[in-house]
């Protein structure tokens, strides 16, 4: 079984620039998550999708962050414009719908904003 794929692995941008991250979940996984992990902290949920619908985006800074999962498969997360405090690792995770199944995480994208 192929794991959760994320790209790019690393990205360095200047503040006020825009950036996009891509995630392809495990095949058949209906639920997809984007997490932000700042150095030394646990991951914080940004947005949760169930198929192509948003379930929870309460902690997504909507003035600069956006995410979509148009066909209910892969997803993109965008930041525009970026701030210094957005420097973090952005993790994508997926799991099958329902039940007590664990989350499967990708390796993340490390973003540095200078």
Partner 1 sequence: KQEVTQIPAALSVPEGENLVLNCSFTDSAIYNLQWFRQDPGKGLTSLLLIQSSQREQTSGRLNASLDKSSGRSTLYIAASQPGDSATYLCAARGTGTASKLTFGTGTRLQVTL
The pair phi, psi for residue 88, each rounded to 5°, is -175, 180
Q: How many residues does the chain have?
A: 114
Rule CB under 8 A: say whether 104 interacts with partner 1.
yes
Rule CB under 8 A: say whether 45 interacts with partner 1.
yes
Looking at the Cβ atoms of 10 and 85, the one nearer to partner 1 is 10
Rule CB under 8 A: say whether 76 interacts with partner 1.
no
Query: Which residues, 6 or more positions from 6, have their beta carbon under 8 angstroms from its beta carbon?
Result: 21, 22, 23, 24, 90, 91, 92, 106, 107, 108, 109
Binding mask 2-41 for partner 1 (x = CB under 8 A): --x-x------------------------x-x------xx
């Amino acid at each position: 079984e192929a794991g959760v794929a994320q790209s790019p692995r690393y990205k360095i941008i200047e503040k006020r620039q825009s950036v996009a991250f891509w995630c392809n979940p495990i095949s058949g996984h209906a639920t997809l998550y984007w997490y932000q992990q700042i150095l030394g902290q646990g991951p914080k949920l940004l947005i949760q999708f169930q198929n192509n619908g948003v379930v929870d985006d309460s902690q997504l800074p909507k003035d600069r962050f956006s995410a979509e999962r148009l066909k209910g498969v892969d997803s993109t997360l965008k930041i525009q414009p970026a701030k210094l405090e957005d420097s973090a690792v952005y993790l994508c995770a997926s799991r099958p719908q329902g039940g007590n199944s664990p989350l499967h995480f990708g390796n993340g994208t490390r973003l540095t904003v200078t």
